[in-house]
Amino acid sequence: MVPLPIALLACAFAALSAVSAVSLWKTSAGLAEGSPLGPLVWLAGSLAAMCGLALLRPWGRLMAVAGAVVLMLLGLAVGGVQVASGRPADALLATCFGGAQVIVIRYLRRPDVKRYFSRG
């Protein structure tokens, strides 16, 4: 049985993969400009993390940690851009999002959680 926090993380990665799939569809259909490579990478990574977390596979935990690291860096970068443009409230929100990713990383690196993924 999958513990509730891991199931919620899998649901979060499922939502991220849905957003990535919509973005990929829009760029490939010509409704949005840009390269479809970025959404394709996000779709593959978030699908791998979602399935790996739900199946309690060690590679799924690693994919989730890698995804959280990238989301943390993006949140902090967006916060920096918001500060530079003079929007401190938006910067605080983006920075809190980056901080939440640190909590996700710390949770997935706990020894008790690692045992869930090593039982196989």
Question: At 116, which amino acid appears?
Answer: Y
Cα gap 25→98, rounded to integer Å: 27
Q: What is the pLDDT of residue 120?
A: 54
pLDDT for residue 118 is more than 90: no
Residue 58 sits at φ, ψ, to 5 deg, of -60, -40
Burial of 52-78, coded b for 16+ CB within 10 Å and e otherwise, reads bbbebeeebbebbbebbeebbeebbeb
pLDDT (tens digit per residue) in 64-100: 999 999 999 999 999 999 999 999 999 999 999 999 9
Mean pLDDT of the chain: 92
pLDDT (tens digit per residue) in 11-69: 999 999 999 999 999 999 989 888 889 889 989 999 999 999 999 999 999 999 999 99
Q: What is the pLDDT of residue 34?
A: 87
Structural domain for 87, as ranges: 4-118
Q: What is the pLDDT of residue 79?
A: 95
Domain count within the chain = 1
